[in-house]
Each structure stands twice: as structure tokens, then as C-alpha cells.
Chains A and B, each alone.
Chain A
Amino acid sequence: MRTGILVAFVLFVFAALVYSRIMAYSLAPTMKPADFHGLPVWYIPIAYLIDYFSHGWICLLFAFVVAGLIYEFIPKEAITKYMSGNRVSGYALALATAPFLTVCSCTMVPLFAGVLYAGAGIGPAIAFLLMAPASNILAILLTGEILSWELAGVRIVASVAVALAAGLVISKTPWGRAIEKEHQITASNRTATLELVKPPTDERLWAALKFGGHLGKQILPYFILGLIAVSYVEAYLPEDLVGAYLTGVTGVLVASVIGGPLYTPTLVEIVLGRGLWDLGMSKGALLAWLMGQPYDVANALAVSRIARWKVVLNYMVIAWSGSVIFGLLYGILTGSL
């Protein structure tokens, strides 16, 4: 009975998204900068929030439900087992699973430490760390819905390339090797066993939805604050300023620099990116902006507790260069630099 209700709810959420697709109904905010002219100052965020949520609730609901389901049903024990394996499978798993395992930031640093200490070493650990925030499932779903699916796809490909490059480069550096040597422990004397208990399906479904709700509770307050900020950006930021500084090669550089420190794990960067895009930011700059996340400060601080600052600086530089290179490439290829 309970399973039935839960399954019905999940099906409803999926159906709502499919229906919105078939009807070509926009899930992104539809207000354009010009619509804000003449509105009183206090009313601007209200109008924007109403506009956003009347369109965006399906997309947000879908994103949180899917994130919860994936996190609950992904076979975690198999992943953690193979992550402790050799290098090649370490890289492959780190890149393939990071997006699904890390919707909650509190799992990211432990897994980084796990990969580093227990087996695959510093390269896959760094790759995992960079891949995780760059393309976690929530960020990709919202990038697709609010910006465009083309951009979401490019974001994944670029993140994989940058994460792989950073992992390979750092595992060759003397300081990277030093950290690896210091932390490597032999897995052979592991004394404990995994005997995970599987609860019945209805409990797992409920747990998945509860986790989706937990994510929503954590993220939505910041997301709404972000939307309020975006409404003022759209209303007051002059278009020629965006045209001058957020297009061309300068645009990619500027976007990649301000994208990093502004990043909070709250998906705000996606909506803010949408606002700036509406005001005329180029697609190249937009990609650089979105890829700015992995070298944000909070993330770096957590990692520096395990790896040294040299490694952290090293991967920040690689991530930053990656965002510039892919921003420029994407801008040139799409003719929107």
C-alpha cells in the first residue's frame, strides 16, 4: 500500500516533466530584463520569484526527487569496493560515479580521503574531487532545464577532461607523490567486513524521498536568496557593461575568475548565469562561469586538511586553466565568444 503511494508519487513527478516537455512549456524564468523596467524596487524580487516558481516547480521537484532516488538506490558498497582498486578502474569509477554520490557535500571529502588512503591513490582522488561539484546530478539537471541541454552536455565533457587532466598531472608531481606515499595504507590487513542490511523497498523509497526533501531544505533557502539577487542583477545591471566585460576573450577570463569565489553549493550560479546570459553574456563566458566551481574556497579548505596546500593550489590552477580553455573553445565553436 505504502509502496504504491510512493511509486505513484514518483511516477507523477516524472509524468509532470514529460508533459511539460511535450507541451513545450518553459521551465526556466521567462521574464526578460526589459520586463523589469518601471516596477517598484520592492516588487522586483516578488515578480521574479512568482515568475520562476510558476514555471520552475516541476523542474525543482524533479531534480530533488531524482537526486534522492539515485543516491538511495546506487550500489554504494560495490563502488567503495572498486574505488579501492587499481589506477585505471579508480579513474573510471571516480569520474563515472562522482556525479551521483555527491549531491550531499558531506560525502565528498570522506570519499576523497577513502580513495586516497585505501587504494587508487592521489590521481583518482583528485579527479573525483574535481568531478563531484562540477557535474553533480542536481547541477546538471538544472543547467539543462534553466540554461540549455547543450550546455549541460558540454559541461559534463569539459568537467571530465579537466578532472582527468588534473588527476594525471598531480599524480606525476613530486609533491603529489609525497602525499600519496605518506597516506597509502595496505588494504590487506583490513579486519572488518561489510555486511550491509537492505531494508524493504517501501522504506527505501521513503528514505529516498526524505533525502530529496533534506536536500531541498538545505539548498532552497540559498536558492531563493540567489533568485532575489538575480532579479536585481537583471533589473539594474546595464547591458553595455555585460557586453563590454562578459563577451570575447576578456569575457571568458572575467567569468572564470568571478565564477569561483561566488560559488556556493546552492545552484545559484546557474540562475545567475541565466540572468547574465539574458543580458548578453557570451556562451563561451557562460561555460567558463559554470566551470568556475571546483576551485571555490570552502572546498579547497576542506581538502587542504588532508592534502597539502601545494596540491590544492596545483589543482586550482589546472581547473582554472581548464575553464578558460573550454570557455574559449566552446565560444569559438558556437560562434558566441
Chain B
Amino acid sequence: MGRTVNVEVIGVNPPCARCDATWKNTEKAVAVVKTEGIDATVKKLDIISKDVIQKYGALVSPALALNGAVKIMGRVPDPNEIARLLRETAS
């Protein structure tokens, strides 16, 4: 099939509790959609690095981007919601 989604979790470094929670929920969601044939690669990005700001502008942490589009900002999504977004993006 080869349906791939590029996932970026954007948070602060050193990580704050809410960024950590977002990261863990993302990993859970990725594990769930893997069984459905969606292949997601997850990367952690530092919100204050120039590359991130160049690409996305100013953000509120934690943020989640799928295939280069910021879907969630300033809140912690639960694994179900992330899985739903992954499916939408993959199809």
C-alpha cells in the first residue's frame, strides 16, 4: 500500500509535561494505525529552532504537524484524535 504520513511533534526543549504527553499520545496513535497499513514516521522538533519557525512561523507549544501542515497547537490531543487525523491525512 505504502500510505505514509510524516508526523512532527513540536515542543520545547527541555520538554514540558504537556509536550511529553503529546509525544506519548502520538506514539500510541501511530501504533494503532500501523495495524491498518498506515506507515507514520514521527519526528520531534524544537519549537525555538530557526528551522521550525522558518517553516511554520510562531507557534504555541505543544503542536502537531502532519505532512507539513499544523493540525493542533497549544493543546494535548488524545490518541484517538491523532489516529483519526492520521487516517484522514493518509487517505
Q: A-side interface residues toward B, CB under 8 Å?
A: 71-72, 76-77, 80-81, 83-84, 101, 104, 106-107, 109-111, 113-115, 117-119, 183, 185, 187, 189-197, 199, 207, 211, 214, 218, 306
Q: B-side interface residues toward A, CB under 8 Å?
A: 12, 16-19, 47-48, 50, 53-61, 65, 68-76, 81, 85
Rounded to whole angstroms, the CA-CA distance of A107 and B74 in the bound complex is 8
**A295 → chain B, closest Cβ, in Å?**
21
Are A118 and B57 also in contact (CB < 8 A) when A71-B74, A199-B81 are?
yes
Contact call A196/B68, Cβ cutoff below 8 A:
no
Q: 19 more A-B contacts (CB under 8 A) besides A117-B53, A194-B69? A: A71-B74, A76-B74, A77-B73, A80-B59, A80-B73, A104-B18, A106-B16, A110-B12, A110-B60, A113-B47, A117-B50, A190-B54, A190-B57, A192-B56, A194-B70, A194-B73, A196-B73, A207-B75, A214-B17
In the complex formed, the residue of A with least CB distance to B76 is A207
Are A81 and B57 also in contact (CB < 8 A) when A197-B71, A197-B72, A199-B81 are?
yes
Which of A106, A115, A117 meets B18, CB within 8 Å?
A: A106
Contact call B61/A191, Cβ cutoff below 8 A:
no
Contact call A197/B12, Cβ cutoff below 8 A:
no
**A93 → chain B, closest Cβ, in Å?**
11
Which of B18, B65, B69, B72 meets A214, CB within 8 Å?
A: B18
Interface SS, B side? mixed
Contact call B17/A306, Cβ cutoff below 8 A:
no
Contact call B57/A195, Cβ cutoff below 8 A:
no
Which of B17, B55, B58, B68 meets A84, CB within 8 Å?
A: B58
**B34 → chain A, closest Cβ, in Å?**
21
In the complex formed, the residue of B with least CB distance to A189 is B54
Q: Given the complex, which residues of A lie within 8 Å of B55, measured CB to CB?
A: 190-192
Which of A77, A104, A114 meets B53, CB within 8 Å?
A: A114
**A187 → chain B, closest Cβ, in Å?**
7
Contact call A114/B50, Cβ cutoff below 8 A:
no
Which of A109, A115, A196, A211 meets B70, CB within 8 Å?
A: A196
Q: Given the complex, which residues of A lie within 8 Å of B16, measured CB to CB?
A: 104, 106
Are A118 and B58 also in contact (CB < 8 A) when A76-B74, A197-B71 are?
yes
Rounded to whole angstroms, the CA-CA distance of A185 and B17 in the bound complex is 30
Q: Given the complex, which residues of B lie within 8 Å of A83, measured CB to CB?
A: 58
Are A192 and B69 also in contact (CB < 8 A) when A106-B19, A117-B50, A199-B81 are?
yes
Are A185 and B50 also in contact (CB < 8 A) when A80-B58, A190-B57, A194-B70 are?
yes
Q: Given the complex, which residues of B lie within 8 Å of A110, measured CB to CB?
A: 12, 47-48, 58-61
In the complex formed, the residue of B with least CB distance to A183 is B50
Rounded to whole angstroms, the CA-CA distance of A76 and B62 in the bound complex is 12
Rounded to whole angstroms, the CA-CA distance of A185 and B50 in the bound complex is 8
Contact call A114/B71, Cβ cutoff below 8 A:
no
Contact call A80/B57, Cβ cutoff below 8 A:
yes
Which of B48, B68, B70, B72 meets A113, CB within 8 Å?
A: B48
**B30 → chain A, closest Cβ, in Å?**
17
Q: Given the complex, which residues of A lie within 8 Å of B74, measured CB to CB?
A: 71, 76, 107
Q: Given the complex, which residues of B lie within 8 Å of A196, measured CB to CB?
A: 70-73
Which of B17, B54, B69, B81 meets A195, CB within 8 Å?
A: B69
Q: Given the complex, which residues of A lie within 8 Å of B85, measured CB to CB?
A: 197
Rounded to whole angstroms, the CA-CA distance of A209 and B55 in the bound complex is 32
**Which 7 pairs, one residue from A and one from B, show the smallest C-beta to C-beta distance?**
A114-B58, A106-B16, A113-B48, A110-B47, A80-B58, A117-B53, A195-B69
Q: Given the complex, which residues of A lie within 8 Å of B68, measured CB to CB?
A: 191-193
